[in-house]
Copies of this chain bind each other. A is one copy, B any other.
Amino acid sequence: MQYERLPLSSGYMIQEKFAHFTDHELHMHDALEVSIALDQGMKYKIGEACYYAGPGDIFLLRPFEPHWNLTQEEGQPSRWIMLLFSPSFVSFIPRGSSLLTPFYMTNTSPLIPADSVHAQAVQRLAIEALEEAKQALPGWELQQQTLMIQMLVHMQRYYMMHNRDQLQEDSSAHGIIQAIEYLMAHWAEDIDMDIVIEQSLIKKTWFYTKFREVTGLTPNEFIVRLRLQYAGHMLQSTAKSITDIALTCGFGSASYFNKVFKEFHHLTPRDYRKR
């Protein structure tokens, strides 16, 4: 498996792409990714799972989740639209990080099926965003950004609607989502998990089980991954020193940041920046 550094200095990217291979080594990255299948014959490998997708099916590829986009028939490339963005893309929106919760609830399906109104809205908006870049009229970048936000709202709506029954039956799932939103808003600070747990109204022992069920991670792993995402984006998009980034992202020291970063990326932050 490859770890990929994606150039997201503007915070997001949208492109039309072709899937060429019927099989391929998986890759992963810290960016959030949305993939919209445009043709028949798309195939997604996500972790252990494999999905056959029809036109309009949408997949959320979660940060650090191994995946690859494939075509079903050799010599028959399939078209898809790729949206990539850093979590910092929504940082200027009040409570914007709550838009990203679907990307962190790994116990939900990554698929938004083509027959959902929200999948249809996302596809329409993505095509409009590509068209904006082609025409490049005044303000096209701002238009793309607003279209990206609208797509995120639609994806969040899908997950909220889709999991509504489950959320109503299972009040602790609601508490975990609140905890995720809290961590996504406060990742840069010292986080007192006891306060987070208290606010979730879930019993402490049950909270940890439940948190892992929803996110696949312990709260601590979750926070470290978030910090790595922001740090990775800062390494690419700013000239800040490694120490600065370590402290801004809540790692406490450059040496601890270096250690954790290397564990994930098999590269020091300095080398990651140079690539």
Contacts and interface: CB of A to CB of B under 8 A. Distances in A.
A93 B142 contact: yes
Interface string A126-144: 0000000000011100110
Nearest to A152: B139
Contacts of A147: 146
B138 A156 contact: yes
B143 A150 contact: yes
Count chain B CB atoms within 10 A of each CB in A92, A93, A146, A156 and give the residue with the most. A146
Contacts of A153: 138-139, 142-143
Nearest to A146: B146
A160 interface: yes
A149 interface: yes
Contact of A156 (B139, B149, B150, B156): B139
Contacts of A149: 142, 146
| Interface of A (DSSP majority class) | helix
A133 B92 CA distance: 23
Contacts of A162: none
Contact of A157 (B93, B139, B157): B139
A184 interface: no
A139 B137 CA distance: 28
Contacts of A99: 139, 142
Contact of A160 (B138, B142, B156): B138
Interface string A151-188: 00100110010000000000000000000000000000
A146 B157 contact: no
Count chain B CB atoms within 10 A of each CB in A139, A153, A156 and give the residue with the most. A139
Contacts of A143: 150, 153
Contacts of A139: 99, 153, 156-157
A230 to B, nearest CB: 19
A138 B150 contact: no
A25 B153 CA distance: 43
B157 A137 contact: yes
20 contacts: A92-B92, A93-B142, A99-B139, A99-B142, A137-B157, A138-B153, A138-B156, A138-B157, A138-B160, A139-B153, A139-B156, A139-B157, A142-B149, A142-B153, A143-B150, A143-B153, A146-B146, A146-B147, A146-B149, A146-B150
Given A92-B92, A143-B153, 16 more contacts: A93-B142, A99-B139, A99-B142, A137-B157, A138-B153, A138-B156, A138-B157, A138-B160, A139-B153, A139-B156, A139-B157, A142-B149, A142-B153, A143-B150, A146-B147, A146-B150
